[in-house]
Amino acid sequence: MNTSRQPAEQAIQLVRIYTPPADPVAINSPLAGEWQTVAAGRSVLLSHHYSYSTPQVKNALDFVQLVDGRGYDGDPNRVESWYGFGEPVLAPADGRVVSVSDIHPDEPIGETGVTPPYGNHIVLDIGNHRYAVMAHLKQGSVQVKNGELVRHGQQIAAVGDSGNSLWPHLHFHVQNSPDLDTQARTIPIVFRDILLTRNGKQTTPAEADLRRGDHIQRLDH
């Protein structure tokens, strides 16, 4: 291993954290209530997605719901014990549904399934060749169908634990294709109309470039 390259690579990763994204998609949160980002940011220091060689998840974010720093109450091996499980997933923008899956079971805690990686999911055409992807949805929770027009803020599903998911959370990204395949490319996202808590400080930025550890709460006007 060439250890002489490690400080330089770490410096590059730090620069990426603080560099504004190029041509991001400005969008609203797909979740109500307060959630924490456990994977977000354009650096391997902040997101396991960014380290992937496959660009279809490079700018993806993962959200979990925590209370007093814990993701569950009671037996952590029961999916129902997790605070976020079954919470509403909202349309982050006006759009048209182009792909839906709702048949895959929610996996046991700590295990990933043999179902497709995204598990139950919705892909939403939000215009300008941009497609919002919401994944790991709860089995049987999807409330929309292919071709349906949805409005920003409309409940379209619920948070689950299907697919390649160790515990209940929402995987969210925007990509340049309606297809969930290796040809898709993710696009950086900034969030509008949220209360952002970062390092204990609350702000309401016009557009928030999220990082791991941020807490967000959707602001409905």
Q: What are the DSSP calls for 43-93, one per residue?
A: STTT-TGGG-S-GGGTT-EEEE--BTTBSBSS-TTSGGGBTTTT-EEE-SS
pLDDT at 114: 74
Give which of 220, 210, 221, 197 is closest to 38, Cα–Cα. 210
Is residue 135 classed as helix, strand or coil in its secondary structure? strand
Domain chopping of the chain, boundaries? 3-218
Quickly list DSSP for 144-159.
Answer: --TT-EE-TT-EEEEB
The CATH superfamily holding the domain 3-218 is Glucose Permease (Domain IIA) (2.70.70.10)
Asked whether the beta carbons of 191 and 172 are under 8 A apart, the reply is: no
Q: What is the pLDDT, as a whole number, of residue 111?
A: 87
Q: Please report the pLDDT score of residue 91 as a whole number.
A: 98
What is residue 191's predicted lDDT score, i.e. its pLDDT? Answer: 96
How much is the pLDDT for 53? Answer: 53
Q: What is the mean pLDDT of each run of 10 residues along the chain (221 residues)?
A: 51 52 89 87 59 71 90 94 97 98 94 86 97 97 98 97 94 95 89 94 95 91 63
